A and B are shown apart, each in its own frame.
Chain A
């Protein structure tokens, strides 16, 4: 069907001949729809200088033409702050100001939810997210953000419910990918795996960009199930037009399964901080890994993962002050994170702040720990006892953890438990150095961070301790 035009030439001519506020506003009104920013720049500037006080809409259009923020909130988004707590508070204030005048702004409710989450206000975050869903239950961005948030909060059932109620689950590869990824994280099988396979194999409606995350999620499951060829194939497909998540996932798969996926030349316009942090960690580049884990945290301040990685690296390089700061930042939106509490307690103990270490350690819900978490607890408890002078008790607790991880064949955790124990033992019994270093040799084939810790142990001189 034909359609009439925007009459841009006529309006441009009128503006050039007339230079009035009427002609300027008429011109920019068409320009903002046509993307004719250059041609209408002068008119936009004229509007900003000459607009009457009530012409808030015309001013908004003019600002958009000139690439300026059109609201205080947009201005805040553009100015990256290191202080995410303050930024979250400002975000909440500005968004609530808008919502006071109009509630049906679903994406702002999502931003509000994430800001509350950053401040640890989980209840308020969930309420805001539910309001977002009530306005836009069929929008993939809102649905995915909601599902991820409830998953982070441990409410997996509600997370799945959000995805299912959206009516996008069977038709939208992004939503399907979220369902599979969430199911996989909690070791459930998604009901929709077959749908996902069918969509990836047969459905020609979607470009590789739209199916990237789905291919990545299904590919990861195939790898976990031992189907290397299929898994590799799908992960390669996910890299044709990748997202941040798919690049990070492919890098993870390469590390975990030794799956050879050529990431050379795979890039987005802006490589993800997460991906780079993980890559640099795997390569033993601790400074770079720390820097990118910090950027990753800035991108996702509500997530515990960048803080866990960052605090762990800081502990590795014995920058305990930094480990404490990073853990604290991560604990604000995730106050119950066992690993973050553990890492902070560890850092405090190693830096001689024993009472603070015990206070933080006491926050770990002992009776809710499961699997590995329980034995990490034993190991750190062992450290605290060593530092208190309860050597026998400390040794016993470390032994428990070491035996468990040795049996589970988790070389990283086994190495970590043993090497940290060895350092504490050598501190109080330097004569045991040779014996312990001999036993530590088994970790020379371990992951890069364990090899680094081993080197530190080998260089450790009990007469001149680096830390108290």
Chain B
């Protein structure tokens, strides 16, 4: 097969011909620089990471006094060289300010299961050169995300899994309490710290008080992990179901991730014939629900069959509640039955706490009685 024929077979959206050599952009050039309050950039993490539509950020590790932090850096080059620089500058600055302000709001509100900003600032890499300006936010840094943490485990640690899930559910609850929906909860956005896990990256969040460019987005976060109805364009106009409901699904997806190695949406679609996938199938979501329900049932059966855990029925019940393909059936089943807020995290927090405590005490050689 000729090279150009081969490329034609691959959809354009993921052609990966090597990029020609281009000069480094300011956001890619922070290595060795000293930032606000003496933080020194010591390691570059990635060259390219999608931040806001077509605007990219770069990640770094910075160090100060033996401590390490994560740095997210953006520049203005792409915006200023766009066809409509004013529009792009507006998008870039709005997105950056939104994330920065939201992070500080979470810190001020004492939301301790959200990764906090330490500082923010800007720097000209070349004196007098406005185009060399880099804006950054410095975040507290953990030991890695939960995916890399699990990958490094020799044997599965139930206590760690349940405690992380407890932390995640507390983090979600904290955000919801200030009318913020995260929208992008996935393994790479759950950072492990010494004693706990925290939610990171509020760049795609939706807030009732702060306007975000993603408010009009059907799926604000990574589509790979989106609730299935959003991928089939079945959008609920109610902010509660569309945004808060998404976080609830993501929590169930994280439970699936911990106990099967992958979040719910990819697992679900690997059990559905490709002819019913969202990019191919144009049927209504209502018509597709039985197919999704069937795949969902198979996913649950698969997870349950492989779990070596006494509480596997409880874990699978939680996944069933949180990830139900029918969004109106999603959430706390008792609350649904009594027509209260189906997305309240209270019972999930206590269920995960109980499961975590049980496993932690098991590690210490003790037993715990289930709370009444």
Residues in chain A within 8 A of chain B (CB atoms): 1-10, 12-14, 16, 20-22, 25-26, 28-30, 32-36, 38-39, 51-61, 63-64, 70-71, 97-99, 101-108, 135-136, 138-139, 142
Surface stretch bound by A, among B60-68, B112-120, B150-158: B150-158
B331 interfacial by beta-carbon distance below 8 Å: no
Taken together as a complex, chains A and B put the C-alpha atoms of A52 and B258 apart, in Å, by 12
Closest residue of chain B to A104 (Cβ to Cβ) is B297
Stretch touching chain A among B25-33, B130-138, B219-227, B346-354: B219-227
CA distance A165 to B232 in the complex (A): 27
Say yes or no: A107-B294 contact (C-beta < 8 A), given A38-B10, A54-B259.
yes
Known: A135-B293, A136-B293. A54 touches B156 (CB 8 A): yes
B29 to chain A, nearest CB (A): 19
> Are A33 and B266 in touch, CB under 8 angstroms?
yes
User: Least Cβ distance of A70 to chain B in Å?
Assistant: 6
Compute how far the CA of A337 lies from the CA of B87 in the bound complex, rounded to whole angstroms: 76
Is there contact, CB below 8 Å, between B188 and A26? yes
**Interchain Cβ contacts under 8 Å between A and B, 27 examples:** A1-B235, A2-B217, A4-B220, A6-B224, A7-B50, A8-B14, A9-B16, A21-B151, A30-B222, A34-B11, A34-B14, A54-B260, A54-B261, A55-B260, A56-B260, A57-B257, A60-B262, A63-B270, A64-B271, A98-B298, A101-B304, A102-B300, A102-B304, A103-B297, A106-B294, A135-B290, A136-B293
Contacting residues, chain B, for A34 (C-beta < 8 A): 11, 13-14, 279
Given A3-B218, A13-B48, answer yes or no on A98-B301 (Cβ-Cβ < 8 Å).
yes
A55 vs B151: C-alpha distance in the bound complex, in angstroms? Answer: 10
- Count contacts on B: residues with CB < 8 A to the other chain: 68
Which residues of the partner chain A approach B235 to less than 8 Å between Cβ atoms? 1
Bound Cα distance from A253 to B344, whole angstroms: 61
Instruction: In the A-B complex, list the 6 residue pairs whose CB atoms are closest, starting with the nearest.
Output: A55-B261, A57-B260, A58-B261, A105-B297, A139-B290, A57-B262
Q: Which residues of chain A are within 8 angstroms of B261 by Cβ–Cβ distance?
A: 25, 51-52, 54-59
Q: Is the CB of A101 within 8 A of B300?
A: yes
Tell me if B265 counts as interface (CB < 8 A to partner A): yes
- How many residue pairs between the two chains, A and B, have CB atoms under 8 Å in the bound complex? 188
- Output the least CB separation between B191 and chain A (Å): 14
Known contacts A1-B217, A32-B270, A55-B260, A10 near B50 by CB under 8 Å: yes
Does any Cβ of A come within 8 Å of B105's Cβ?
no
Q: 17 more A-B contacts (CB under 8 A) besides A5-B223, A35-B279?
A: A1-B235, A3-B219, A10-B49, A12-B14, A12-B16, A13-B48, A20-B151, A22-B151, A29-B225, A29-B263, A32-B269, A33-B223, A35-B274, A54-B306, A102-B301, A136-B293, A138-B290
In the bound assembly, the distance between CA atoms of A192 and B330 in angstroms comes to 37
Q: Taking beta carbons and an 8 Å cutoff, which residues of B are in contact with A?
A: 9-11, 13-14, 16, 46, 48-50, 147-148, 150-151, 153, 156, 187-188, 204, 214, 216-225, 230-231, 233, 235, 256-257, 259-263, 265-267, 269-271, 274, 277-279, 286, 290-291, 293-294, 296-306, 316
Q: Please name the residue on chain B nearest to A172 by beta carbon.
A: B287
Minimum CB–CB distance from B331 to chain A (whole Å) comes to 17
In whole Å, how far is A96's beta carbon from the nearest beta carbon of chain B? 11
Instruction: For the complex, give the distance between the alpha carbons of A106 and B297 in Å.
Output: 9
Which residues of chain A come closer than 8 Å to B297, judged between CB atoms? Answer: 102-106, 108
Residues of B within 8 Å of A107, CB to CB, are: 290-291, 294
How far is the CB of B282 from the nearest CB of chain A, in Å? 11
Query: How would you classify the secondary structure of chain B's contact residues: helix, strand, loop or mixed?
Result: helix
* A64 neighbours in B (Cβ, 8 Å): 270-271
Complex CA gap A135/B291 in Å reads: 11
Find B266's partner among A32, A101, A105 (CB 8 Å cutoff).
Answer: A32
Cα–Cα distance between A9 and B294 once the two chains are bound (Å): 31
- In the complex, which residues of chain B have a beta carbon less than 8 angstroms from the beta carbon of A108? 294, 297-298
Within the complex, what minimum Cβ distance (angstroms) separates B38 from chain A? Answer: 31
Residues from chain B with a CB closer than 8 A to the CB of A99 are 301
Distance to closest chain A CB from B222 (angstroms): 6
**Chain B residues near A10 (CB-CB < 8 A):** 48-50
Contact of B222 among A4, A51, A54, A102 (CB under 8 A): A4
Q: Are B298 and A102 in contact (CB under 8 A)?
A: yes
Q: Which residue of B lies closest to A21 (CB)?
A: B151
CA distance A108 to B156 in the complex (A): 31
Q: Which residues of B contact A29 (CB under 8 A)?
A: 224-225, 262-263, 265-266
Query: A28-B266, A57-B262 are known contacts. Are A33 and B224 too (CB-CB below 8 A)?
Result: yes
B151, B216, B303, B316: most-surrounded residue (chain A CB, <10 A)? B151
B256 and A4 contacting across the interface, CB-CB below 8 Å: no
Residues of B within 8 Å of A21, CB to CB, are: 151
Contacts of B303 in A (CB 8 A): 56-57
- Whether A1 and B218, one on each chain, are in contact in the complex, defined by CB atoms closer than 8 angstroms, is yes
Taking the closest CB of chain B, its distance from the CB of A342, in whole angstroms, is: 41
Is there an interface contact between B223 and A25, defined as CB atoms closer than 8 Å? no
Report Cα–Cα, A54/B312, bound state, in Å.
Answer: 13
With both beta carbons as reference points, the residue of chain A lying nearest to B258 in the complex is identified as A54
Known: A10-B49, A32-B266. A56 touches B302 (CB 8 A): yes
Chain A residue with the shortest CB-CB distance to B270: A64
User: If A52-B153, A58-B261, A135-B293 touch, does A3 touch B14 (CB 8 Å cutoff)?
Assistant: no
Measured CB to CB, the closest approach of chain B to A133, in angstroms, equals 11
| Complex Cα–Cα for A32 and B271 (A) | 10
Across-interface contacts of B286 in A (CB, < 8 A)? 138
What distance in Å separates the Cβ of A334 from its nearest Cβ neighbour in chain B? Answer: 28
| Cross-chain contact A60 with B271 (CB below 8 angstroms) | yes
Chain A residues near B290: list those with CB within 8 A. 106-107, 135-136, 138-139, 142
* Residues on A with beta carbons closer than 8 Å to the beta carbon of B14: 8-9, 12, 34, 36, 39
Distance in Å: Cβ of B21 to nearest Cβ of chain A: 16
Chain B residues near A106 (CB, 8 Å)?
290, 293-294, 297
Task: Give the residue name and chain of the A residue nearest to B265 (CB).
Answer: A33
State the Cβ distance, A100 to closest chain B Cβ, in Å. 8
Report chain B residues within 8 Å CB of A8: 13-14
Q: How far is the CB of B74 from chain A (nearest CB, A)?
A: 16
Q: Complex Cα distance A423/B107, Å?
A: 99
What residues of chain A lie closer than 8 Å to B294, measured between beta carbons?
A: 105-108, 136
Q: Separation in Å of the B39 CB from the closest CB of chain A?
A: 25
Contact A70 B271 (CB under 8 A): yes
A62 closest partner in B (C-beta):
B270
What distance in Å separates the Cβ of A224 from its nearest Cβ neighbour in chain B? 32
**Max chain A CB contacts within 10 Å: which of B224, B278, B305?**
B224
Bound together, the chains give a CA A28 to CA B267 distance in angstroms of 10
Instruction: For residue A34, give the distance in angstroms from its CB to the closest CB of chain B.
Output: 7
Q: Do residues B262 and A58 form an inter-chain contact, with CB atoms below 8 A?
A: yes
A26 CA to B77 CA, complexed, in Å: 29
**Which listed residue (B13, B151, B188, B267) contacts A60, Cβ 8 A?**
B267
With a CB–CB cut-off of 8 A, which chain B residues contact A139? 290-291
A39 adjacent to B10 (CB under 8 Å):
yes
Rounded to whole Å, the gap between the CB of A7 and the closest CB of chain B is 6
Measured CA separation A99–B299 after assembly (Å): 12
Report the Cα distance A375→B274, complex, angstroms: 52
Tell me the complex Cα distance, A55–B277, Å. 23
Beta-carbon contact of A56 and B306 below 8 Å: yes
Point out the residues of chain A lying under 8 angstroms from B299, CB to CB.
57
